[in-house]
Amino acid sequence: MKAAVFREVNVPMEIEEIAVAKPGPREVLIRTMAAGICHSDMHFWNGSYPGRVPMVLGHESAGIVEQVGSDVHYVKPGDHVITCLSVFCGHCEQCVTGHLSLCQEPETNRSSDEQPRLSKNDEALSQFAQLGSFAEMMLVHEHALVKIREDMPMAQAALIGCGVTTGVGSVIHTANVETGATVAVIGCGGIGLSAINGAAIAGASRIIAVDMVASKLDLARKFGATDVVDASDGDAVAKVIEMTGGGVHYSFEAIGLKATAEQAFQMLRRGGTATVIGMIPPGQMVALHGVDFLAEKKIQGSMMGSNRFRVDMPRFVDFYLQGRLHLDDLISRRIALEDINEGMAALNTGEIARSVIMFD
């Protein structure tokens, strides 16, 4: 099969012919139909986060089941599925207490003494997030996917696999935003727009979008923002505090920068909660004023929107088909696998929401 192989940091990927193994007892082979290009892929490609190369990147995807292992009963060939990087074992402490997105059990991957899922000649290729969706096929653990209804378009379904679930989930699961609360979202890329959409679904009374790109602020209004703040023009924190008469109940950082994480905390009202969704590079420290803790202000992280994806994603599909989840506007353009490097480069412009690779 064809795959875009990541071999060296900041070096364009080439499309290579690689081999995919047959499904093991609890594995599923998926024909990839659509794969979104996410900033998380960029973080590994540019070396911000360490990864084991050679690797097939990609993790935001949807496809059709081709083959299943002997012990798989949840899906069958022909089923439409969304993949998720929150691969869960189902029996560790995190899983049995309902925190599936925090599962770290290694058993969902193949061991080093087993045949690798992906290879080229005698060389093993790793899968980003146990998925590797920048390829025509994916071989994954059965707990890395969810079955969805067949009338859901594949491009939109792929976005649910990461960005949408991360953004919406951070609002409704991690932060538990209640009806009538005030919300600010810093960063209006795919995840930030999904957080805005999630806040609207949750019934927030005021949703303030913060970004430096005018086109993204315009798009934020379509997703439910009631107000926008141009962070390139003055102090965004001061503007949010002034607009709300003291700060918001909930803030969400959707970029992954030290400065914006600090701003998310600073724009809270007393008793407010800041949730950092973005991937702040390893080694960077976030500085907060200790006196703010006396006002019971809180800051927390969110991993994939604290999801229970086997439950959440089918509901998000329904939300989209009901017109409540605005996935169409998240897709900036559809590209071919051969255009992967152009799609990755587009992430740096800040002008697009998502490029989606479409497979024939």
Is residue 89 annotated as a catalytic residue, yes or no? no
**Could you please report the per-residue DSSP string of 13-82?**
-EEEE-EEPPP-TTEEEEEEEEEEE-HHHHHHHTTSS---SSEE---EEEEEEEEE-TT--S--TT-EEE
The answer to whether the CB of 304 falls within 8 A of the CB of 85 is yes
Catalytic residue among 103, 126, 133, 162: 162
Under 8 Å between Cβ of 185 and 195: yes
Phi, psi of 14 (to 5 degrees): -110, 150
The single residue listed with the structure tokens 């923002």 is 225
Q: Say whether 40 is catalytic.
A: yes
Catalytic residue (one of 39, 40, 103, 173) = 40
Q: Are the C-beta atoms of residues 20 and 139 closer than 8 Å to each other?
A: yes
Q: Which residue among the candidates 38, 84, 103, 188 is catalytic per the annotation?
A: 38
Q: Is 188 a catalytic residue?
A: no
| CA-closest candidate to residue 357, choices 27, 107, 35, 138 | 35
80 assigned to active site: no
In this structure, what DSSP letter does residue 135 have? Answer: B
Token readout for 342 is 């152009």
| Longest Cα separation, the chain | 63
Considering the candidates 39, 59, 249, 326, report the single residue annotated as catalytic: 59
Amino acid letter, 321: L
Per DSSP, the three-state class of 272 is strand
Cβ neighbourhood burial of 275 (10 Å; 0-12, 13-18, 19+): buried
CA distance 173 to 166: 10
Classified as helix, coil or strand, 95 is: helix
DSSP 163: I
Reply yes or no on whether 59 is catalytic: yes
CA gap 260, 251 in Å, rounded? 11
Catalytic residue among 39, 43, 173, 326: 43
The set of catalytic residues is 38, 40, 43, 59, 162
